[in-house]
Amino acid sequence: MPLVHKIKIPKLGMAVDEATLSAWLVSDGDRVEAGSPIYIAATDKVEQEIESPVSGKIRLIGVVEQTYPVGTLVAEIVGES
């Protein structure tokens, strides 16, 4: 049975409650490796590449240039069991 890992907007600072999904670095359906960058999240003070925590096939959910609250689901990675 495949494992699904949820990719969420991370907290990028102590007082930061939201971030903008600036760019996807992968395409929907791509295979990604653990540790490889998958998207860029930005606030008014920082821009950061977010890495995949696991290897598997990615399903993009979030929309580029949209701002999301911390913890919002923006992608899922289906990995091997």
The answer to pTM > 0.75 is: yes
Which of 1.10.760.10, 3.40.50.300, 2.60.120.40, 2.40.50.100 would CATH assign to domain 3-79?
Answer: 2.40.50.100
> What average pLDDT does range 59-74 have in this prediction?
96
Tokens coding 36: 């490889």
Q: Which residue bears the tokens 């999904």?
A: 21
> What average pLDDT does range 35-61 have in this prediction?
95
pLDDT band at 22 (very low <50, low <70, confident <90, very high): very high
Task: Please state, as a whole number, how many other Cβ atoms lie within 10 Å of the Cβ of residue 1.
Answer: 5
Torsion sign over Cα 12, 17, 22, 23: positive
